[in-house]
Amino acid sequence: MRPLTVQKYGGTSVGSVERIAAVAERVAARAAKERMIVVVSAMAGETDRLLKLARALSPEPDPRECDVVAASGEQVTAALLSIALAERGVPAQSFLGHQVRISTDSAHGKARIQSIDGERISRALDEGRVAVVAGFQGVDERGSITTLGRGGSDTSAVAVAAAVKADSCEILTDVDGVYTTDPRVCPQARKLERISHDEMLELASLGSKVLQIRSVEFAKRYGVRVHVRSSFNDSEGTWVVPEESTMEDVLVTGIAHDKDQAKITIKGVPDRPGLAARIFGPIAAANIIVDVILQNTGEDGTTDVTFTVPRGELAAALRIVDEIRRDTGAKEVLSDSTIAKVSIVGLGMRSHAGVAASIFEALAREGINIQMISTSEIKVSVVIDEKYVELAVRALHAALVERGEGAHPS
């Protein structure tokens, strides 16, 4: 049987009728030898434009209706691409989420895929057609249209690939792969040939916006090999794959940075059981995601607690924390929104000691003060002053990626 391929084209790749025609050429060439499923995003800027229309009519439009509006962007692209394919003699059929059927929960605006019935797509393929699927959308139990969260067509593509057991899943985008770090910050950044699902999950969650994080979770769960590559040329991109045994040989795979961070310190809180729950319970209840947490052991029966939140949530978090300060008799609350987080990720950290020490040395050589540190099995994150973030990324890249390249540390 001919290989089965899922391709996903992002917004810039289908941003104009000319671009859609170019995508059709590309798909047509592949369709000569492969069975093709193509998942599309809305044309660039379209989802923002649509959501703005809804908000122009109401400050808080009904999420169900917002999804009906937003999902129309992908509907248009899917049909336009099918038309462009037919024009090139390639039979194609568009599918909306509910036609596929991509079943989700009812969390409008951030729905999760629960199951996919690949039956109708398979039938179209058997009849020799290219199946063009509108990304980003699904349908809930009640038959309402749902959307999967911004960037959600990546997840549509990986989930469809898993459901139909595709031989490969290509994400075609406006960058040519996943880089060791942001090339705009560090010219020495280089494209990775491959990266494990776990490393990609860490990097995606740290603001390397190449793939929607849920798509990587899906890929990991179902063992989907994802090829991230450019839609503007034919060169190989980066393979996001299940872990392979040699991957631990490389100490550091990537360095991410995130300026969307703010720090809150509560000083002089009584040091007793239940304190952390008292602080972080209400913050979690307000849906604010706390990242790095630091607590000192105090000497006089009190302690200081510092933690980071997304910058946009600082004001909301401070209102909650101020209440906690009054209730607990804490001394004062300080905040700082000029911080940034730099994270160093690599499977090799699991089995090699000394990576953290090299990180701290590299920062020390540049005179960069570390305010907070957190670690996981394959990641070290440091919180530093925002104004040193570019310098830190370059220094760490030079010390750990360029010099450590292919290194087998002793």
Give the position of tokens 């220094």.
395
Instruction: State which residue, 36 or 51, has the beta carbon closest to ligand ASP.
Output: 51
Distance in Å, CB of 221 to ligand ASP, minimum: 19
Query: Residues 91, 133: contact at Cβ < 8 Å?
Result: no
Rounded to whole angstroms, the Cα distance separating 151 from 135 reads: 9
Q: Applying CB under 6 A, which part among 151-159, 227-235, 248-256, 373-381 lies near ligand ASP?
A: 151-159
The reply to whether 10 sits near Mg ion by the rule CB under 5 A is yes
Query: Which residues inside 135-154 make contact with Mg ion, applying CB under 5 A?
Result: 151
Of 121-150, binders to ligand ASP (CB under 6 A) are 135-136, 150
DSSP codes joined into one string, 279-340:
HHHHHHHTTPPP--EEEPPPSSSEEEEEEEE-GGGHHHHHHHHHHHHHHHT--EEEEEEEEE
Position 152 contacts ligand ASP (CB under 6 A): yes
Among 151, 254, 268, 346, binds ligand ASP (CB under 6 A): 151
Say if residues 11 and 171 touch (Cβ distance below 8 Å): no
Among 5, 153, 215, 261, binds ligand ASP (CB under 6 A): 153
Contact between 118 and Mg ion by CB under 5 A: the answer reads no
Does residue number 191 form part of the binding site for ligand ASP (CB under 6 A)? no
| Alpha-carbon span 184 to 251, nearest angstrom | 23
Does the protein bind ligand ASP through residue 42 (CB under 6 A)?
A: yes
The values of phi and psi at residue 208, to 5°, are -90, 100
Q: Taking the C-alpha atoms of 322, 324, 326 and 328 in order, what is their torsion angle to the nearest 10 degrees?
A: -150
Binding span for ligand ASP by CB under 6 A among 41-49, 80-88, 159-167, 306-314: 41-49
Residue 132 CB neighbour total at 10 angstroms: 28
- Comparing CB distances to Mg ion, the nearer of 10 and 73 is 10
Work out which of 5, 7, 13, 41 binds ligand ASP, going by CB under 6 A.
Answer: 41
The number of beta carbons lying within 10 Å of the beta carbon of residue 223 is 10
Interface residue with ligand ASP among 5, 12, 47, 343 (CB under 6 A) is 47
What type of residue sits at position 88? Answer: R
- Segment interacting with ligand ASP (CB under 6 A) among 99-107, 152-160, 268-276, 379-387: 152-160
- In the complex, which residues of this chain contact Mg ion (CB under 5 A)? 10, 151
- In the complex, which residues of this chain contact ligand ASP (CB under 6 A)? 10-11, 41-42, 47, 73, 135-136, 150-154
